[in-house]
Structure 1
Amino acid sequence: MRNTIINIFRILGSFAAAAVFLGIGAAGAEPTLERGRYLVEGPAGCGNCHTPQGPDGPVADMGLAGMMVEKNDMFTAIASNITPGSRVADWTDVQLSRAIREGIRPDGSIVGPPMPFGLYKGISDDDLMSMVMYLRQVPAVDHDPGQSVYNIPLPPAYGPPVISVAEVPQGVTLEYGAYLAGPIAHCTECHTTFGPKGPMFDTHLGAGGFEFHGPWGVSIAPNITPTRLAQYSDTELDGMIRKGVQPDGARMLPPMPYGYLAKMTDDDAAAMILYLRSLPPLPDGGQ
């Protein structure tokens, strides 16, 4: 009992410190464990990369324990163990928050791709702290997935330090839909045409074309601008996003995190679709 109380005070204390660092005022602070669970297990789909996968899907009792997510000529990317059974248990909430949103570890080293830091820098303070609160209390797993190896130079940072990001009001709005499809679910990361320096958000947002290689074969991120989406109803798009099923009943391929997106609320799915409908129509693959 005593240890439980001590742990509670430790969590509350580190959260208070993080609130000050992130500029969260006491009157407006609304991070919650419930919100953190919804984001991590739902639209953010953290387990899609951080949970080990077996032949039948996520490995039981290994949630968020880390795994290799990509191997190519440029790098071997390992998604870290982010449970309390790993080194992140020794990081403060501020340090863990910075690693998530800016890709900088406490020792100053840089987290490499494919973590989408170009979008994660837009996660609001409240949502970021909600996610940290949730990660602090998931079951600890003692598992070392290994270390990433990069044969390409990593940047010194992914942009200037992020001081504070305001909350985006929830609702079926373009603003909140953009927030969900961007910083939270990072749909626009995978579905934007890639150039030499990564996703070309300024000129090819949502145009698709990136190839994903896996045990299933090769899947190509489709164009998610109105050029392609106009042929589908909102109901059909909802089924594709949250169920991974095309209008003709065919199953869609990984790595899109259908199991996580399935947990999105109806309103959040509607907001995301509303935003995708608003994108400038572009040719496939930005051609």
Structure 2
Amino acid sequence: MLCEGRRKMRTGAWLFACAVLSAQAAVAADAKLVRGKYLVEGVLACANCHAVRDKTGAVIAEKGMAGGFEFAEEMFKSYASNITPDRETGIGKWTDAQLAKAIREGIRPDGSLIGPPMPIQFYRSLSDADLAATIRYLRAQPAVVNQVPKSTFNFPLPPNYGPPLKNVASPSPKDKVAYGGYLVAIAHCMECHTPRDERGMLVMTSLGAGGQNIKGPWGDSISRNLTPHAEGLRDWSDEQIAAAIRTGKDRSGKPYKPPMAFDWYHNINDADMAAIVAYLRTLPPQQGSGSK
């Protein structure tokens, strides 16, 4: 009887340990999903491009991120892809590894390169943990059937956007400026807020100086100067900068035009917003042609 009791105790302890591990795994999985939701619906603002929109540009929420929005530029006509888990028109057949490679390296499962305006050079900064959380959240979305036209480019795409990536980490949130730089990178702020040369390439020596004319259904949208220059954010308070990012209005209340992703950036939490502002303060002051 004593041996039988001990055997039952060992079995009970094993079952309890399994239950604890299962519970911990469930919590970890939920935490990943929560983080993914925060990233996709906040910092990354994926739906700013990948949402389905009506003729007025309003988001059709029930169609999720099934894509189709047209970016018509002089050098290309690009369509936002369907990133819902539909197996025929979306990412349903892609493995996690394939999806990770597409997001962070711009390479589809068939080996073809994703072209602009997908901000691959900034998504290359996305940490392994945040990339996994993003994929987890995309997997959890409803599958929506939407066949998107193929993008066309009037110039050769590069062979790649850089060497294969692995073991990418983000700075610690305790390092406010460094973490703010990470958030600004994955939020791809500089994709619009940095001037481009005659070939359409970002002029990284003028990082944040603004002045891009981004055309769309909204007309001409001139990106503003984000540096601490007199024509930039030098005289703005931290609160004014945060409010502008979240509301899409300047400090006088004048609304900004799309494609500024304020419909998603308003979900950025206070700590992350403070880090973003702290990083912007460290940019070298640049004179540019961005709107004031």
Could you say which TM-score interval applies, normalised by the shorter chain? Answer: 0.7 to 0.9
User: Does the 8 Å contact 1:193/1:200 carry over to 2?
Assistant: yes
Cα distance in structure 2, aligned partners of 1:172 and 1:139: 37
Q: List per-residue Cα deviations over 1:87-146 (Å, max 9, x = no partner).
A: 411111000000000000111100001111111111000000100000001011011121
The yes-or-no answer on 1:161 pairing with 2:188 is no
Change (3 A) 1:284 1:126: same
Percent identity of the aligned residues? 46
Deviations 1:137-164 (A, max 9, x none): 1011011121111121011101111122
- Residue type of the alignment partner of 2:258: P
Displacement after TM superposition at 1:256 (Å): 0.4
SS of the residue corresponding to residue 218 of structure 1 reads: strand
Equivalent residues of 2:170, 2:182 under 8 A apart: no
In structure 2, the partner of 1:209 is 211
Distance 2:203 2:30 in 1: 34
Match of 2:137 in 1: 134
Amino acid at match of 2:209: A
The equivalent of 1:71 in structure 2 is 72
Question: Residue 251 in 1 paired to residue 255 in 2?
Answer: yes
Structure 1 residue 52, shift from structure 2 partner: 1.4
Q: Write the distance in 2 (CA, Å) between the matches of 1:237 and 1:72.
A: 29
Instruction: Please tell me whether Structure 1 or Structure 2 has the larger radius of gyration of its CA atoms.
Output: 2
Q: Among residues 233, 236, 239, which one is paired with 1:235 in the alignment?
A: 239
Q: Is the 8 A contact 1:84 1:139 kept in 2?
A: yes
- Which amino acid letter does the alignment assign opposite residue 71 of structure 1? A
Give the secondary structure class of the aligned counterpart of 1:219.
Answer: strand
TM-score, normalised via structure 1 length: 0.85
1:179-203 Cα distance to aligned partner (Å, 9 max, x none): 0111x211011101112251122x1
Find the aligned partners of 1:258 and 1:162 in 2 and give their Cα distance: 30
Structure 1, unpaired ranges of 5+: 1-27
d(CA) in 2 for partners of 1:100, 1:232: 34
1:31 is displaced (CA, Å) by 7.1
CA RMSD of aligned residues (A): 1.9
**Gapped runs of 5+ residues in structure 2?**
1-27
State the alpha-carbon separation in 2 of the partners of residues 150 and 132 from structure 1: 27
2:226 is aligned to: 224
Residue equivalent to 2:280: 276
The alpha-carbon distance between structure 1 residues 159 and 226, as it changes in their structure 2 partners (threshold 3 A), is same
- Give the structure 2 partner of residue 19 of structure 1: none
Tell me, what secondary structure is at the counterpart of 2:91? helix
Q: Equivalent residues in 2 for 1:104-183 (5 A)? A: 104-171=107-174, 173-182=176-185
Higher mean C-alpha deviation, range 163-172 or range 222-231: 163-172
User: When the two structures are aligned, how many residues end up with a matched partner?
Assistant: 257
1:89 counterpart SS class:
coil
User: For the residues of structure 2 that align with 1:246 and 1:138, how far apart are their CA atoms?
Assistant: 33
Q: State the distance in 2 between where 1:224 and 1:207 align.
A: 6
Aligned-residue offset at 1:276: 0.3
In 2, Cα distance between the equivalents of 1:180 and 1:220?
22
- How high is the TM-score relative to the length of structure 2? 0.84
Tell me by how many angstroms 1:236 deviates: 0.9
CA distance in 2, matches of 1:160, 1:231: 40
**Residues 30/199 of structure 1: CA separation in 2 closer, same or farther (3 Å cut):** farther
Distance in 2 of aligned mates of 1:190 and 1:140: 30
Which AA in structure 1 matches 2:177?
L
CA distance in 1, matches of 2:241, 2:144: 36
Contact 1:208 1:285 in 2 (8 A): yes
